[in-house]
Structures are given as structure tokens and as C-alpha cells.
Amino acid sequence: MRIVRYEHQTSRGYGLVEGDMIRPLAGPPFDGVRMSRGAAVPLADARLLAPCEPSKIVCIGRNYAAHAAEHHAPVPTEPLIFLKPPSALLAPGEAIELTPLSAQIEHEGELVVVIGRRCRHVPVEQAFDVIFGYTCGNDVTARDLQRKDGQWARAKGFDTFCPLGPWIETDLDPMHAAVTCLVNDVVRQQGTTADLIFSVAQLIAYVTQVMTLELGDIMMTGTPAGVGPLQAGDHVVVRISGIGELRNPVVSS
């Protein structure tokens, strides 16, 4: 299934994508997909929103060895977790706003896990029971502020620094997804989740030792090598095989 959140005329909600149409759902899909009686709308006529409304955005740092190496950072011996605020979420097609507080704002294309069940202390072997699906994300980062601050809340937390979408794909093998990030149609990052240091299942187990995950919460699984700067006027695409493409322009604030 492909699940979107969308606006069309006066309606706003979750929908199921079938071909080039969206069939509206009666509510959030996480505890069961229920169709509403509303009319289907053409995908092309809808404005897509970020595909879920997480209470928190859990992120994993340095989860690809080649990306750790490009920052001369050691490969972590356990997952490195941090949070982005939900206020950073950005819909597909909307603009990433550069901030004058940073001179080095970079893209990080990532596979994103969407949680489908309230959970804590999930064993590795049951991790897939709590996953609803997967989407594309861009962990936009003010690299200079990340270095300067020592912790990452400011560098990762600006409004618009968490593009997400275009939809949630429920049928995906997260162990073998190709993750590509293009800027102005030039490939900057090209990786595969087969190279994750800590697998999706290991990450769910690790994170839920710390915090309860809620329906619709998301976990960004880390970025492959090739991160680089964004400039006003750029167009960024995060493409994940089996999901689709998340596209966002970049503007100055």
C-alpha cells in the first residue's frame, strides 16, 4: 500500500494511492486502513503533506561507515541517536529555507521508518511488528553549527529541515533499498541500506530501550556518503527504490 496525507479543495486527511488516484481514508491508517465514503481525487490535483504527524522524529547519526569516514568520525560501536523537532517537517514540493545563521547547509538523504504501534522494549526479532511502513526523508543539517555546538539540536532543528514523503510505502525490504540523493539532477549520494551499520530492527530495539514510540512517529536511519552543500535555487531529490522520490526546492530565508 501507498499512504499519503493530502489536501484537496476543502478536504484534508489520509488517502490510499491507487494508480493515479487517491482514495480517502476514514482516519489515520496505523491501526487499520478504513476507507471513507468520500470521492477519489486525482493524485495530480492533490497537495501532498508530510505523510504522517510524528510526536517525535528520532534520528540515527553515522550509520554508514563511508559517511562517518567523510567526516573523519569514528564508526560508532552503538547507535548514535538524536531528535529533530516535528516543527522541522516539510511537505513534498515545499521549499527548504536556508538560514543566515549558517554558511554550510547540507542534504542528507535517508530511509525513514514509520511506526505503526505504540511500543517500548521491542526485541530485535519483533521489530518488524511495530513498523507500519517506510518513506523518504532529508535530514537537512547546518554542518557548521553542528560542529560548533557540540550537540545537534540547532543544526538539525530549523523549520523546513525535515522534508518527508511523498508517501508511506508499506511493502518494502528495508535491508536492500537503494538510497540516492540528487541536487539539480546530479547524483550526490548513492548508497544502499545493505550497508547500514545498525539494521532497522537493531535500531528499533535500541531506541525503544530509551523511549516509547507512538503511532506515526518516525525514525531516520542515517545517511550514506556524499553529503554536500545546498544553495538557493537548488532542487533536491531523495530517491529510494521501492518507495519513490521526495522533491524539494531550496530558497534563501
Residue from 106, 108, 169, 217 touching Mg ion (CB under 5 A): that is: 108
Count of residues that interact with Mg ion, criterion CB under 5 A: 3
Site for Mg ion, residues 199 to 228, rule: CB under 5 A: 223
Q: How far is the CB of 51 from Mg ion (least distance, A)?
A: 19
- Per CB under 5 A, the segment of 33-41, 101-109, 118-126, 245-253 that binds Mg ion is 101-109
- Per CB under 5 A, the segment of 102-110, 122-130, 157-165, 210-218 that binds Mg ion is 102-110
For residue 209 the three cell numbers come to: 530501550
Q: How far is the CB of 218 from Mg ion (least distance, A)?
A: 12
* 106 binding Mg ion? (CB under 5 A): no
Site for Mg ion, residues 116 to 175, rule: CB under 5 A: 139
Listed in sequence order, the residues at least 6 apart from 249 whose beta carbon sits closer than 8 Å to its beta carbon are 93, 95, 96, 233, 234, 235, 236
Q: How far is the CB of 222 from Mg ion (least distance, A)?
A: 6
Q: How far is the CB of 137 from Mg ion (least distance, A)?
A: 9
Residue nearest to Mg ion (CB): 139
Q: How far is the CB of 156 from Mg ion (least distance, A)?
A: 8
Which residues in this chain contact Mg ion in the complex, by CB under 5 A? 108, 139, 223
